[in-house]
Amino acid sequence: AGYQRTTLELLLLISWNCLFRKEIVGRRLARRQGQGQWGFASQPQEFVSSTTEDALNDFLDRQSRFYKESKQAKEHLAKKNAATNGNDSHINAILQSDLSPIYPSLPNAAQKYLCRNVYDGDTLTLDDGSRVRLLGIDTPELKEKQPFALEAKEYTKKYCHGKNIWLTFQENGGIENDKNKDHYGRLLAFIWVSLSGDDNNGGKKGEKTPRQSSFDSNASQWLCINEGLVASGLAHSYSPSKSKKVHNHDKLLGLQKLARGHKRGQWKTHKDYNAIVTPSGSAFHKCKNKRNTLSDCKYLARSKSLSLLSVSDAYDKGLHPCRNCFG
């Protein structure tokens, strides 16, 4: 009994000492803040309580041998939550607009293929060996180790590698029309995948999928990979010339602007600066000086009517970075 009493008294003494210590520390912290008995006479009571409590908890945390690790963990969690909230707001902004890359059905002319391999964000190989280049966009280059090149590849790989995909083309005739190929012989196409998880393992080459005639709450959803990459900030809109624009060119520009505004993907570290443009060109170029149109780009050697334009405005006009200048 005497041992239990001694132990109880010791615990009470420790508890009283902790409370007294917290009270003293709290008073000292409050006095450091400024005016009044507690130093927060000009602040709302809720603010006084939360501020004093936070400061006191931080002080007591510092007494722990694991304070540094705890602080780093809290900072990492705060950054992660901020990124998640930002991503959610970006997705909601897209889905609530008319720019969503998700569709309730496939286009009528969509043809089904099996993807064998994904080379990078905008290039893949079909089961029969045909190479496909995603139309209307350009992703960062893996060879040049450009930022977000790996992320762009992982995005396309996630939805396409080893799975059924559906192709549509800008011109009629599908794969038989040479206008739907580039000078490397690659097919230029829009790629579609099912988000419902159905029919994702195998498929016959060129098999057409009938369009759904009606939809209910369980209807399938289809993602256009080309648009999804732009919406995620992992690609920008691309047209080889001002006269050759894809049918969804304006939509791609809208998705690009939203991704830039929400700092998604490659736009996270984007900083605006001046670039050189020509009246009829489809690209913008690097300039030696931000205030003039001097450039080392070989494509501007014979150009005379040069002007400066911010890179953001150039992107909004549908221009793309010159490959000679930017790689």
Cα 137 off chain centre by: 15
Q: Could you give the CA distance from residue 55 to residue 57 in angstroms, rounded to a whole number? A: 6
Q: Let me know if 65 is a catalytic residue.
A: no
The number of helix segments (H) and strand segments (E) in the chain equals 8, 14
Q: Which of 123, 137, 153 is nearest to 253 (CA)?
A: 137
Q: Let me know if 154 is a catalytic residue.
A: no
Q: What is the DSSP string of 147-160?
A: TTHHHHHHHHHHHH
Neighbours of 124 (CB within 10 A): 28
Q: Which of 130, 140, 143 is nearest to 189 (CA)?
A: 130
Q: What is the torsion angle, in degrees rounded to the nearest 10, for the CA atoms of residue 145, residue 146, residue 147 and residue 153? A: -80
Catalytic residue, from 133, 227, 260, 264: name it: 133
Catalytic residue, from 27, 116, 131, 186: name it: 186
Catalytic residue, from 27, 116, 131, 141: name it: 141
Q: Let me know if 186 is a catalytic residue.
A: yes
Half-sphere exposure of 317 (CA within 13 A, CB side): 18
Q: Could you give the CA distance from residue 286 to residue 277 in angstroms, rounded to a whole number? A: 9
DSSP 43: S
Q: Could you give the CA distance from residue 31 to residue 24 in angstroms, rounded to a whole number? A: 11
What amino acid positions are annotated as catalytic residues?
133, 141, 186
